[in-house]
Amino acid sequence: MSGQDARAVGAQIRMRLPQLTPLELRVVDTITSREDLTKETSIKQVAKDASVSEAMIVKIAKKLGFSGFRALRGGLVEYKQSDVANLYSEISPDDSSASIIQKVFRTSMQALEETIAILDIEAFDRAADIMYRADNRDFYGIGGSAQIARDVAHKFLRIGMRANVYDDAHMMLMSASVLKPDDAVMVFSHSGATTTVLEPMKLARKQGARTIAVTNYAESPVAEVADVVLCSTAQGSPLLGENAAARIAQLNILDALYVSIAQRDFKSAEVNLGKTMNAVAAKREG
């Protein structure tokens, strides 16, 4: 695994699943669900159990970002032995309220731990610089992603940084059409494949604006267009899906980004924070 954080292995595989064929997905499921996988498990046995060739196993390992089967096998073994891999449990119809609460919380904890493991610090710093220096900041998102955008815009306003949130396809395109090179766009898309945000993002980049993608998939269409990509990760379940835990991870990424930006001009941020807090203080009872 060449020094890779074991916590990142699950995310590394998960993020690349949309790029696989149905056959490849079946093979990956066969490999990852093996309870008897060890560092001695042979490629021959894995290929036989999956009913594919050894060459296919190697091909899939490489598509998942590993150098070959040995690297994939070693990564999976170490990941399965890590504390973070054991946080996740499927929710069942017979679960008690206490069990549901524990499983939901542990799924979010896993998403946070794995997101920390895969987060690109250099990309994070670039995103903070872009947002800090931008003349205009436009956020694009649909549904739950728009809620994250609004939360970030709210935090930015607290320190005197204005941001516009657009969750309508036409408004996004209109916004993108008038952007300039000193402006910035941040796109929020769990799948990274939503055309509603992808099209205005492409237009924004054509206008010269800097683009940042916040997504769950590092090789998604949105990620390919963006200047900077900030990736979250979360394990899906039939009931919760991936989005719930992924949103928590994304909110934490953006909270950290907000703090990093405020740090760049701490005195100004502190003054504006005082102003905005005082402005709403009168609305509180007591």
> Do 36 and 131 lie in a common domain?
no
Question: For residue 63, what are the domain limits?
Answer: 8-82
Whether 100 maps to a domain, the answer reads no
In angstroms and rounded to an integer, the radius of gyration of the C-alpha atoms of the chain is: 21
> Do 168 and 55 lie in a common domain?
no
In tens, the pLDDT along 141-163 reads 999 899 999 999 999 999 999 99
Query: Which residue, of 24, 55, 82, is where some domain finishes?
Result: 82
Low-confidence ranges of the chain (pLDDT < 50): 1-2
What are the Cα distances from residue 140, in Å, to 95, 152, 170, 193, 242? 37, 12, 11, 13, 20
In this prediction, residue 240 carries a pLDDT of 60
In tens, the pLDDT along 263-286 reads 999 999 999 999 999 998 877 765
Whether 219 maps to a domain, the answer reads yes
The alpha helices in 161-213, defined as continuous H runs, are 169-177, 195-206
> Do 69 and 123 lie in a common domain?
no
Residue 198 CB: number of other CB atoms within 10 A? Answer: 20
> Do 41 and 130 lie in a common domain?
no
> Do 255 and 124 lie in a common domain?
yes
> Do 135 and 275 lie in a common domain?
yes
> Do 73 and 195 lie in a common domain?
no
> Do 76 and 147 lie in a common domain?
no
> Do 271 and 153 lie in a common domain?
yes
In this prediction, residue 206 carries a pLDDT of 97
Q: How far apart are CA 117 and CA 220, in angstroms?
A: 19
Q: How many domains does the chain have?
A: 2
- In CATH, what number is assigned to the domain containing residue 200? 3.40.50.10490
> Do 212 and 131 lie in a common domain?
yes
Whether 87 maps to a domain, the answer reads no
- In CATH, what number is assigned to the domain containing residue 60? 1.10.10.10
> Do 182 and 246 lie in a common domain?
yes
Query: Which residue, of 58, 82, 106, is where some domain finishes?
Result: 82
Whether the Cβ atoms of residue 252 and residue 234 lie closer than 8 Å to each other: no
In this prediction, residue 129 carries a pLDDT of 97
In this prediction, residue 1 carries a pLDDT of 41
In tens, the pLDDT along 163-193 reads 999 999 999 999 999 999 999 999 999 889 9
Query: Which residue, of 57, 82, 107, is where some domain finishes?
Result: 82
